[in-house]
Structure 1
Amino acid sequence: MVDVALAGAAIVAALTVWQAPAGPPLPPRSAAHPDPVTPRPVRALPPARPVRLEIPEIGVRTPLVTLAKNSDGTIEVPARADRAGWYRPGPAPGSTGPAVIVGHVDSRRGPAVFHRLGDLRPGNTVRVVRAGGSVAVFRIDSVERVSKDRFPTQRVYGPLPYPGLRLITCGGRFDSGDGRYVDNIIAYAHLV
């Protein structure tokens, strides 16, 4: 199991991602679990470290931190609520495959960088500025809210034949007993 755990006590929202065990079927795809669009082939960009994320439709403009795995196998999350982070063991945004960027939905101080992620709609634009100045531009295909115990691991991290992007935060009801949200919001996008 992969559990994206909270790194600091100052942040209320923990982004949790479970890796489905091998064998069981994924949740059925429906209006609540949209199937990401398979876009027309676009030439992948050469790998480059992403340095900034811009999503004009929801007012996001943030530096990107680099995330890895913690010693216990969990994925790091940004230490600051106002920063998003790129999961470095995966593809770089613009390269073939699913690049993953995560951010917090809120903190004890209020809304965080991905507070409005669930407001994205198909066709919205996401820009990732890369080291060296190139920009990877993505178009949102779909946005879904899923229970953390039914996280669609294959749809998020599985192989893609095109450059894709997954933006992930917490959502749904906040469980004060656990100190975390019960759902994830996931936005799927492709390079244009």
Structure 2
Amino acid sequence: MLALTAVLAVGCAATPAPATPPPPTTTNTPVLPAPQPLPAAPAVEPVGLSIPAIGVAESGLVPLRLGQAGELEAPTDFARAGWYAAGPVPGDPGPAVIAGHVDSRTGPAVFFRLRDLRPGDTVTVRRSDGADAVFTVDTVQHHPKDAFPTAAVYGPVPGAALRLITCGGEFDRGRSSYRDNVVVFASRHELIG
């Protein structure tokens, strides 16, 4: 890059342009190839989750998108949690969101005991860059699904934060769905690795 800058500086001398073009000359100035773009940095993704206090030893993570109605889609595998792929990566600035099922027709799912977390419990998210983002639970909240705290979950925060979401409360058999959401708010304790 330094050589390219030097060649450009020679061509940009502060002298007036001649009225007629000078005859062509030969020079020993090397012709430099055009600069090539740098390869894109590999995208960092969360790849694993552990929450020792509730027995989640290691859950793989799948990317989640928004559905047609603007809601966060749930993971298709009841044993795995998923992360909101359009949001921050856990450990990066902003509120990263991870969601998982509470149960299935066959029994408990990955976030079955999410409601049992307490302030001070730790959540570790393993990232594809080899780092572990370790979060500390601040609070566990229960909200009716029709009063979900969207701004608190997805809104800006200072530093890195984590939101864990699952279903909770009473089961509505008519809708085949729980009436509430359990939302865990956690702040980053450290990034290791």
Q: What residue number does 2:119 align with?
A: 122
The structure in which a higher percent of residues are helix is 2
Asked if 1:87 is matched to 2:94, the reply is no
Asked if 1:149 is matched to 2:146, the reply is yes
**Aligned AA (1:55):** I
The DSSP-based 3-state class of the residue aligned with 2:70 is: coil
Asked if 1:180 is matched to 2:181, the reply is no
Q: What residue number does 1:73 align with?
A: 70
Structure 1 residue 132: Cα displacement: 2.4
Q: What residue number does 2:54 align with?
A: 58
Q: Distance in 2 between matches of 1:99 and 1:154?
A: 13
Name which of 180, 185, 189 aligns with 2:186. Answer: 189
Deviation by residue 1:1-34 (Cα, 9 ceiling, x = unmatched): xxxxxxxxxxxxxxxxxxxxxxxxxxxxxxxxxx
Q: Which has the higher contact order (CA 8 A, sep 6+)?
A: 1
Q: TM-score if structure 2 supplies the norm length?
A: 0.73
Q: Distance in 1 between matches of 2:130 and 2:83?
A: 17
Contiguous gaps of at least 5 residues in structure 1: 1-46
Percent identical residues: 55
Q: Distance in 2 between matches of 1:151 and 1:50?
A: 25
User: In the comparison of the two structures, how many residue pairs are matched?
Assistant: 147
Deviation by residue 1:113-168 (Cα, 9 ceiling, x = unmatched): 00000000000000000002110000000001111111111110111111000000
Deviation by residue 1:29-74 (Cα, 9 ceiling, x = unmatched): xxxxxxxxxxxxxxxxxx7200000000001120000111234533
Q: Distance in 2 between matches of 1:154 and 1:132?
A: 29
Based on CA coordinates, which of the two structures has the bigger radius of gyration?
Answer: 2
Q: TM-score if structure 1 supplies the norm length?
A: 0.74
Structure 1 residue 75: Cα displacement: 2.1
Report the aligned-residue RMSD: 1.4
Q: Distance in 2 between matches of 1:87 and 1:153?
A: 14
Structure 1 residue 77: Cα displacement: 1.1
Deviation by residue 1:162-183 (Cα, 9 ceiling, x = unmatched): 1000000000000000110000
Q: What residue number does 2:167 align with?
A: 170
